[in-house]
Amino acid sequence: MDTFHSKELFLVYEATPGYSPLLITATEEGRPMARLLAVLRKAKRWVPGYLSRQCVVYGGGEMIDASLQGTEHKRQAEAVFEQLLEQLTHEALRTCAFIEFRNLSIPMFGYRPFRANGYFPVNWLRVRNSLHGTLSAGERFSPSRLRQVKKGLRSGAIVREARTEEEVQAFARMLRVAYSVRVRRHFPTGEFFRQLHSRLAATGLSKIFIVLHKEKVIGGSACLYSNHEAYLWFSGGMRKTYTLQYPGVLAVWKALEDAYLRGFQHLEFMDVGLPFRRHGYREFVLRFGGKQSSTRRWFKVKWEWINRLLEKIYV
């Protein structure tokens, strides 16, 4: 199951203030063939109207029908994806300034359909930890990172899954206060994390881990699980106030350990920055033993002249 294009995540988006889900489906004689879920959200609060709205898609959709799956059906699946993409582009650009496709598992995925619909690619980086073929989740950690995990636990920090809505809300507040200014990343409202916890955690599609010290939430991470892979969506910690507890380190360590124990092959960090500039978060997660590789993000801007200009710069 592809959680990023599921009904469950659609309901999470629908219940989150400032989010509008857009689900495009392909059918044949009433039988569902494929689907593509996007979220329309406000990128900048100070920018008026649709100028601040963006459409984000995680992955390339889900081919539901078995006849579209497998390498032998690649051409047919690509044709279906092109139809989904064309419809999504038409619908989203009515109310959004631009569309972004991110976290594509294959760098060359959908190249022809994207180009045919006027999208341009930007080279990006992905970081994944391999969890198979190891004796423990921390086998590939750097020595300093292992020491930090041990010191944090010895210093009284407790790491576990969030149990109540109050703990989830405390995690969301901590994340926004600790990282919203310094890290260039979109932060949804606390309702988004509450919906992840209430709708997806019960079915094993998501987990929120929290780091506690003297019953105060000082760090945590939010994970999503899709197609036998784990994804770390958000993480952070109050590292300046709680230096000895290493809350940011423990938040990532717990996500990796849980994914390893549940038998996932990889854990991917969903946002590690542009490849042509240093990024503190990317340097941070690489010390957990992950490997970085090249990928693409695809963009399309509402105004054709801007889209053509950016295309000349990046292509």
At 133 the pLDDT is: 84
In this structure, of 172-176, 274-278, 299-303, the range with the lowest mean pLDDT score is 274-278
At 265 the pLDDT is: 93
Phi/psi-derived region of residue 110, left when phi > 0, alpha when psi is between -120 and 50, beta in every other case: left
- pLDDT single digits (tens) 227-278: 999 999 999 999 888 999 999 999 999 999 999 999 999 999 998 767 666 7
At 44 the pLDDT is: 58
Alpha helices in the chain (DSSP H): 7-15, 74-92, 111-116, 143-154, 165-179, 190-195, 247-261, 280-286, 304-314
At 42 the pLDDT is: 80
Residue range 143-164: mean pLDDT, rounded: 96
Query: Residue 140 is which amino acid?
Result: R
- Where in the chain are all domains bearing CATH 3.40.630.30? 3-117, 127-293
CATH superfamily, domain at 3-117: Gcn5-related N-acetyltransferase (GNAT) (3.40.630.30)
For residue 34, list its beta bridge partners: 26, 63
Fold of 127-293: Aminopeptidase (3.40.630)
At 20 the pLDDT is: 96
At 186 the pLDDT is: 72
How far CA 295 is from CA of 142, 277, 291, 301, in Å, comes to 25, 15, 13, 20
For residue 180, name the pLDDT band (cuts at 50, 70, 90).
low
Residue range 74-97: mean pLDDT, rounded: 93
Sign of the four-CA dihedral 176, 177, 178, 183: positive
DSSP, residue by residue, 141-153: S-HHHHHHHHHHH
**Contact indicator for 58, 21 with CB cutoff of 8 Å:** no
Number of H helices, E strands in the chain: 9, 12
Q: What is the 3-state secondary structure (H, E, C) of 47-110?
A: CCHHHHEEEEEECCCEECCHHHCCHHHHHHHHHHHHHHHHHHHHHHCCCCCEEEEECCCCCCCC
Given a cut of 60, whether residue 181 has pLDDT beyond it is no
Mean pLDDT (the chain, rounded): 90
Given a cut of 70, whether residue 183 has pLDDT beyond it is no
**Contact indicator for 266, 147 with CB cutoff of 8 Å:** no
Tokens of 155: 């210093």
Pairwise CA distance, residues 249 & 55, whole Å: 31
pTM of the predicted structure, to 2 decimals: 0.93
Pairwise CA distance, residues 254 & 220, whole Å: 9
Percent of the chain beyond pLDDT 70? Answer: 92
Percent of the chain beyond pLDDT 90? Answer: 69
At 96 the pLDDT is: 94
Higher pLDDT, 62 or 67: 62
For residue 267, list its beta bridge partners: 129, 230
